[in-house]
């Protein structure tokens, strides 16, 4: 949950004066996203989400993210549309922070996605990649392989405190990932954080994808690797649900079949994706002050997933 910046009714009314959205009739801070402040905003015209970007977001990246949402909406992909003010600009300032109003999407986040929902998510991911295939923006993945060793440095004792011997495993994983990380895979815009929190469903149908604030240009199949980690393990444990994985991959391939090179790369990319989330959670776990508004997630879950990927032999281990 996260409302870091309090927006009062006066500030909101002044802000809305720049738009053609009518006036506010309801406004509530919501527990969505962990990096930014989010409000549900209802005006006399419609419902929206107001996002204020907090310090962890790099302001220079915001036009890229806005462009991704615009592009997706243009292509009919179910993503929120940044709403333009009267001057044609969606990205504005509120309470000293960059801020944007985006359209409201219906749907529910799933706590335990079923097999059909995993298939639907895979298909949605492929459609997301396809919709963005002609997007001209470019943003480097700042949380990829070269970032990982520096993130881990100095945290060896913390990792061993979580699980005896974990540091040794992480260091050998980093060696392998750095040595074998593939270049030249088909690339494009990836979501890079498509966890169940960031997808809305009505029944088994995907009705919305949100939170594009880790989106970047990288190998498309790396996005599948992230989703397999996020969607296809049993609740917070290192047990891979092969049936769900197979469904997710099949859903993806129904729209965009993977090349042999991508299939071969998948196990290592899954290991890398688990490493990325292990490391960011490890850093947050150690660095989050006790009075923070967000409770950090335990990194152990991703250490266990790393254990699965370390032993995977090939694409078939994932249901491919």
Which of 12/270 has CB closer to a copy of itself?
A: 12
Is 25 in contact with 42 (CB distance < 8 Å)? yes
3-state secondary structure of 149: helix
Backbone angles phi, psi at 303, to 5 degrees: -65, -40
Stretch that binds a copy of itself, among 7-15, 93-101, 123-131, 259-267 (CB under 8 A): 7-15
By the rule CB under 8 A, 108 interacts with a copy of itself: yes
- Count interface residues toward a copy of itself (CB under 8 A): 32
Decide if 190 contacts 262 (C-beta within 8 A): no
Shortest spacing between CB 122 and a copy of itself, in angstroms? 20
**Which stretch in 63-71, 104-112, 123-131, 266-274 sits in contact with a copy of itself by CB under 8 A?**
104-112
* Residue closer to a copy of itself, measured from CB, 17 or 25: 25
Q: How far is the CB of 199 from a copy of itself (least distance, A)?
A: 12
Answer yes or no whether residue 24 interacts with a copy of itself by CB under 8 A. yes
Instruction: State in angstroms the smallest separation of the CB of 69 from a copy of itself.
Output: 19
Q: Does 106 bind a copy of itself (CB under 8 A)?
A: yes
Cβ density class 160-197: b for 16+ within 10 Å, e for less:
eebeeebbeebeebbeebeeebbeebeebbbbbbbebb
Q: Which residues of 91-112 are buried (b: 16+ CB within 10 A; e: fewer)?
A: bbebeebbbbbbbebebeebee
Should residue 312 be labelled a site residue for a copy of itself when binding is judged by CB under 8 A?
Answer: no
Query: Which of these ranges, 89-97, 214-222, 286-294, 302-310, lies near a copy of itself under the rule CB under 8 A?
Result: 286-294
Q: Which of 134, 165, 260, 290 binds a copy of itself (CB under 8 A)?
A: 290
What's the CA gap between 100 and 94, in Å, rounded? Answer: 9
Residue 271 to residues 8, 182, 247, 274, 282, Cα–Cα distance (Å): 45, 13, 20, 5, 16
The reply to whether 235 sits near a copy of itself by the rule CB under 8 A is: no
Q: How far is the CB of 295 from a copy of itself (least distance, A)?
A: 8
Q: Does 111 bind a copy of itself (CB under 8 A)?
A: yes
* 112 is a contact residue toward a copy of itself (CB under 8 A): yes
Task: For residues 183 and 139, give the distance between their C-alpha atoms in angstroms, rounded to a whole number.
Answer: 17
Q: What share of the chain is helix, strand, coil (3-state, %, to 5)?
A: 45, 15, 40
Q: Which residues bind a copy of itself (CB under 8 A)?
A: 1, 3, 8-10, 12, 24-32, 40, 42, 104, 106-112, 202, 289-293, 295
């Amino acid at each position: 949950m996260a409302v870091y910046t309090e927006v009062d009714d006066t500030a909101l009314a002044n802000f809305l004066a720049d738009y053609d959205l009518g006036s506010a009739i309801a406004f509530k801070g919501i527990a969505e996203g962990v990096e930014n402040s989010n409000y549900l905003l209802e005006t006399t015209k419609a419902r929206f989400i107001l996002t204020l970007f907090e310090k962890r977001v790099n302001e220079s990246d915001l036009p890229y993210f806005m462009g991704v949402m615009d592009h997706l909406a243009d292509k009919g992909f179910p993503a929120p549309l940044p709403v333009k003010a009267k001057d044609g600009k969606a990205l504005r300032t509120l309470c000293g922070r960059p801020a944007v109003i985006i359209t409201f999407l219906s749907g529910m986040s799933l706590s335990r996605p079923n097999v059909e929902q995993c298939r639907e998510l895979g298909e949605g991911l492929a459609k997301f990649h396809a919709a963005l295939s002609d997007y001209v923006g470019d943003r480097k993945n700042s949380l990829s392989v070269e970032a990982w060793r520096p993130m881990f440095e100095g945290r060896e004792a913390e990792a061993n405190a979580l699980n005896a011997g974990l540091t040794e495993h992480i260091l050998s994983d980093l060696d392998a990932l750095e040595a074998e990380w593939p270049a030249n895979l088909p690339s494009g815009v990836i979501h890079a954080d498509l966890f169940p929190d960031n997808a809305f469903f009505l029944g088994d149908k995907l009705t919305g994808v949100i939170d594009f604030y880790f989106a970047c240009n990288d190998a498309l199949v790396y996005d599948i690797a992230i989703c397999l980690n996020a969607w296809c393990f049993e609740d917070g444990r290192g047990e891979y649900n092969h049936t769900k994985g197979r469904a997710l991959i099949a859903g993806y391939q129904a729209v965009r079949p993977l090349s042999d090179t991508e299939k071969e790369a998948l196990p290592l990319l899954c290991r890398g994706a688990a490493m990325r989330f292990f490391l960011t959670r490890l850093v947050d776990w150690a660095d989050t002050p006790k009075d923070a508004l967000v409770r950090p997630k335990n990194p152990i879950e991703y250490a266990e997933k790393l254990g699965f990927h370390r032993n995977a032999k090939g694409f078939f281990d994932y249901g491919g």
